[in-house]
Chain A
Amino acid sequence: MTLPTALWTDIALGSLACIILLSESLLGPRLRKAIVFHGAWIGLVLIGILTVCTAPESEQAIGNYLIRPWTIPFRLCFCIAGALSVLLSRNLLSGTGHTHRRGLLVSGGVHIFLIICSTLGMFVVTGAQDLITFLVGIELATIPLYVQAAMLRDDFSSEASAKYLIIGSLSTAFTVFGISYLYGAGNSVHFDTLAQTLTADKHFAWVGVIFVLAGIGFKLSAAPFHMWAPDIYDGAPPPVTAYIASSSKAAGLAGLILLVYGPFQQLGADLENIFMFLAIISMTIGNLGALRQKRFNRFMAWSSVAQIGFVLMALTGGDLAIPSIAFYLLVYIIGNFIAFFVVNCLASNRPETFSNMRGLSKQSPLLALCLLISMFSLAGIPPLGGFFGKFELFLAAAQPGHEHFYLILFAAINAVVSLYYYMIVVKDIYITEPTHADNSTCPAIAILPSQRLTLVVLVIAIIVLGVWPAAHSWIFTLAGS
């Protein structure tokens, strides 16, 4: 049996996990530090490149595992997010000096290993061709995160982990329950069979569909399954938060698309209503929640809820949905990570509240500019990547045959509301003068060289994505068909 080239990435990822684990256990402390950290992010970057290089032109199958061209951008997103999470962990790992106010991760090596495992799980999700693989992939993507959330020594971290675990378990229960109904209705776990047997008149299938969607809704933190997000974002270690906010969502979306355009394809029209509901309620609740937040991580959680609303809006539409979501995710992940990197630097010596960001433009112009660009990209301001990303989501909902113009209007107004709170951040870093109390507790901000470099690269990337259409066309070639 010959392996399809596209499967190399999955294997490489598995191997990378093993290498990290082995070097963590076997090597001496000095070598270990270099290999575990640098090996991991370089490995993930290389796998990302490999993903791009081995992108298939058509579907490639190995047994029950299917590499679809449209999943390639998603896989790239997973790799990028994984690599960035590793880089973001830098100041929580030992050996760089104690530069995060919440201390060090319990075990950096395991943390990195778990990131890679989780990434592998996401890869599996995108390759799934039956419900079992799908479920296993999702669990592999999620369970390591429960552990990672607990990787700091403080109570917040433990509490976040526990909450995440409990709520995640319920969502898994939903998913499994739904899958059992789907199996009952379709008499198969295989997507191709299900696609033919799950028809809209089969009410029995609907229980399955709804429960599965609820389970995925948890992964996406789509309202009303979003309640965990602010608490966990605030409590989990920063790299884990960033990872949950980006990669985990991307995986959920990949899974969702897989189902919607696979087994659920005959339910299309009715699913549109569900997505419309989810989109509307997510963006509304997300936006309202983000208003007047005082803590940055909670703020990012709410904003991500709102962002998911926009993405779900695209799913009500037609062909444009997949490529636009893929492009949006890429942009969104980069934008998110810029914000998390900046805040992570900031958090070296202060809590991540807005009041502590005041005067940032004077203390560190670079960080301030990066945060500004990140916020504007998330808000969808040109010429940053976020503009086209968000705009295409709108267009996707306006495709012939799927014209949801009221939804677009509602979403566009929500985008304006979201702009408000993103601008509040900008206002805090650029305009509001720090009060004396804010200032006195803020010593200089330490930025590690690797993080500074990453920030610059990311900022350039987000501008380039907004003005240079190469990546955009690549995604559309892969995912457009």
Chain B
Amino acid sequence: MIESSWMILLLPFISFIGGILFLHKQPKLAAGFSILCNGAAMVMALILAVGFLSSDDTGYHALAHTWSYDWFAITDTLTVSIGALLDPISIMMLVVITVISTLVHTYSIGYMENDASAGRFFPLLSFFVFSMLGLVIAPTLVQMFVFWELVGVSSYMLIGFWYHKPSAVAASKKAFIITRFADAFFLTGIILMATQFGSIGFDAINQGATAFSSMNTANPSFSLEGGAVQVFTALAAQEGSAGFLGLNLLSWATILIFIGGWGKSAMFPLHVWLPDAMEGPTPVSSIIHSATMVVAGIYLTARLFPVFAVAEYTLSVVEFTGAITALFAAIIACTQRDIKRILAFSTLSQLGYMMFSLGVADMEHTAGFTASMFHVFTHAFFKCLLFLSAGLIIHSVHSNDIALMGGLRKKLKGTYFVTLLAVCAIAGVPFLFSGFWSKEEIIMAAWSNGHQCSAIIGLLVGGLTAFYMGRYFFLIFHGEYRGDAHHLEHAHENKFMLFPMVLLAIPTIIAGYPMLTGHTFFNTVIPQATLPTHPDHSASWIMPVAIAMAIGGLLVAWLKYGRRAVSFDTPSTNIVYRCISNKFYIDECYIFVTKKIIFRCVAAPMKLCDDYIVDGIIHSSAAIMRGCAAVIRHWQNGQTHVYLGLMIIGLALLAWFGGAL
């Protein structure tokens, strides 16, 4: 099965090409074709995963390069190739992506049934899946960048799917440009990696880094070959060098690469595109937020974890970015009214968890890494579920505003039930739900590895999450309906939409259990991974506190929103509240920087400079010549004695230039 892993990549691409070229006029066929292709891919991914899990050898050497195609050569030693690298995390991602894509495709049949351009939708969705699959199996940085960009392109096309809506178009542009901004750093980092460390292959880079980290113990546990030697040598040469601005080259390269992930995973302050991306059709939001695009940054960080760990500061950057984002987004989520935006900020917050969890790990203590991957896995399902349900709700009440909802539990029973499961999962309701396990793992890892600050933030955010998810849930499903009654009458649960949601409810619950078995599945990127086999007693207080936070959050939400009717008529005048509900005015800052500073203070002066200085010099030289010409014409006045006089002056000039005078 491993040998035919290229099929997993190819199938969505076939779905895209076939759909866009031949089926864009027949939405039904396009949908069927897409589901067929994606379903096939899902099946193959599952078989692959099962095969991989059942094999004994799941350690580092489980890395499998199954196929490779030399794309182009940059130098003699540096060749860009396209291939597949299969290891536990990439297989995990393959499974998550294909499963979710198949379900979302199915859901979309219902969601897009009245949309004339559905024939375009399914192929584009497949293309999105294709890009993401290519990204996760990438064996090299360049391939990752290639598909990284394709993810950007496909998200651009999907967010702006309703191209006649100016807000959608603006959102797609925003998403693309902000991620592109981060990508510029990413690209610089890749280039530094490629040129200074001599390799773009993940295993070479990571092996080099691992060897380097174990250099102090003078006991490299495995032999180096190929590009890894180069990387190792380059790293060793870098050690101790002061570098630029106090950071050595490796830190620069890794931080630059990380900035790419920063943008794609919408870490603060590059998060602004993500809430706006809600302008796209809901299935798109669901797939972006669960399995594709936003986890790309996490995945990138995980992929390069050994080298990040070797570099000074890099992991600290990762940690702080993640922690700040988690807290920041959770606070904002408490005040939002748009159903999808609440979910978007919750995604941000969860991504923050995953990020700081990576940051708290290191080469010796890898629990954070494992926890992060685990959270990626669990989060994908319940977040997808939440979005799908939100889509169904929007479909039913024709509004995004939770102020116009309420009491929907009577009308949308199935939705109510599955949403409840998902809310419990994300809020970290103990034991039954997957989210609890993964979140717990993260906080635990942070505390036990000495990152107390992050751990406390993690706990705090856990409480906030429970609160805003409770608020979300109670405002939608409980209380009285506050919107246009006309819409409610027609509200119903489309079976194509409900079915995937029900299916997703299963992993929402059970995805957390693999952890209980203590499987080292996610650990294998790091060669000498050592799981905390013995429980850390100093951290044993964490679980109760976390449970308390979750329950407490939900309780507060129930008290505030669930128990009694809520009025949205008078917006709060509290300045803190306003500030939070306006997302700390970060968007305004962006607009200020782009419109006022970059457009008006950089681009506009440049244009003026071009028009009036650069071009002006050229034009004025012409004007000067015209002026001189006028002088010459003035002297050319037809008066013979003037001519004669000038001849005599010319004579003197000749003598002067001849050196005679």
Contacts and interface: CB of A to CB of B under 8 A. Distances in A.
Interface of A: 163, 166-167, 170-171, 174, 203, 206-207, 209-211, 213-214, 217-218, 223-225, 227-228, 230-231, 270-271, 273-274, 276-278, 281, 285, 288-289, 291-292, 417
Nearest to B631: A288
A300 to B, nearest CB: 14
Contact of B640 (A163, A270, A285, A291): A163
B649 A288 contact: no
A64 B636 CA distance: 42
Nearest to A274: B658
A206 to B, nearest CB: 4
Interface string B621-642: 0000110110011011010101
B618 to A, nearest CB: 12
B622 to A, nearest CB: 8
Looking at B626, B628, B638, B651, the one whose CB has the most chain A CB atoms below 10 A away is B651
A206 B658 contact: yes
Closest 9 CB pairs of A and B: A224-B650, A227-B643, A277-B657, A291-B629, A206-B660, A288-B629, A274-B658, A214-B651, A288-B628
A224 B645 CA distance: 10
A281 B656 CA distance: 14
Contacts of A278: 654
Looking at A225, A230, A270, A281, the one whose CB has the most chain B CB atoms below 10 A away is A225
Interface in B573-602: none
B651 A174 contact: yes
Given A163-B640, A288-B629, A291-B626, A209 B647 contact: no
B74 interface: no
Contacts of B647: 167, 170-171, 174, 214, 218, 224-225, 227
B646 interface: yes
B651 A210 contact: yes
A204 B658 CA distance: 13
27 contacts: A167-B644, A167-B647, A203-B660, A206-B658, A206-B660, A210-B654, A211-B651, A214-B647, A214-B651, A224-B653, A227-B635, A227-B636, A230-B636, A270-B658, A270-B659, A270-B660, A273-B658, A274-B658, A276-B657, A277-B653, A281-B653, A285-B632, A288-B632, A289-B632, A291-B625, A292-B626, A292-B629
Contacts of B655: 206, 210
Interface in B25-65: none
B657 A289 contact: no
Nearest to B628: A288
A13 to B, nearest CB: 31
A239 B632 CA distance: 27
A231 B636 CA distance: 9
Contacts of B628: 288
B643 A228 contact: yes
Nearest to A267: B658
Contacts of B659: 270, 273
A167 B644 CA distance: 7
B371 to A, nearest CB: 70
Nearest to B642: A227
A224 B626 contact: no
Given A170-B647, A214-B647, A270-B659, 14 more contacts: A163-B643, A167-B643, A167-B647, A171-B647, A174-B647, A174-B651, A213-B654, A214-B651, A227-B635, A231-B638, A274-B658, A277-B654, A285-B632, A289-B633
Interface residues of B, number: 25
B46 to A, nearest CB: 71
B640 A167 contact: yes
Given A206-B655, A206-B660, A214 B632 contact: no
Nearest to B636: A230
A299 to B, nearest CB: 12
A288 B640 contact: no
Nearest to B641: A166
B659 to A, nearest CB: 5
B489 to A, nearest CB: 71
A125 B658 CA distance: 25
A265 to B, nearest CB: 15
A288 B646 CA distance: 17
A7 to B, nearest CB: 35
Contacts of A285: 632
A205 to B, nearest CB: 10
A211 B655 CA distance: 9
A231 B650 CA distance: 19
Contact of B658 (A174, A209, A288): A209
Nearest to A223: B650
A224 B636 CA distance: 12
Interface string B376-404: 00000000000000000000000000000
Contacts of B657: 273-274, 276-277
Contacts of A230: 636
Contact of A217 (B635, B636, B640, B650): B650
A170 B626 CA distance: 31
Interface string B455-495: 00000000000000000000000000000000000000000
A38 to B, nearest CB: 38
A170 B644 CA distance: 8
A210 B650 CA distance: 10
A413 to B, nearest CB: 10
Contacts of B658: 206, 209-210, 270-271, 273-274
A213 B625 CA distance: 29
Contacts of A206: 655, 658, 660
B644 A166 contact: yes
A295 B155 CA distance: 65
A172 to B, nearest CB: 12
Nearest to B654: A210
Contacts of B650: 214, 217, 223-225
A276 B654 CA distance: 10
Contacts of B636: 227, 230-231, 289
Interface string B135-151: 00000000000000000
A217 B648 CA distance: 12
Contacts of A171: 647
Interface string B613-625: 0000000000001
A306 B65 CA distance: 73
Nearest to A205: B660
B654 A214 contact: yes
A281 B646 CA distance: 13
Nearest to B656: A277
Contacts of A225: 647, 650
A167 B648 CA distance: 11
Interface string B399-442: 00000000000000000000000000000000000000000000
A224 B629 contact: no
Contacts of A270: 658-660
Nearest to A213: B654
Contact of B646 (A227, A231, A274, A276): A227
A171 B632 CA distance: 22
B627 to A, nearest CB: 9
A208 to B, nearest CB: 11
A451 to B, nearest CB: 31
A213 B659 CA distance: 14
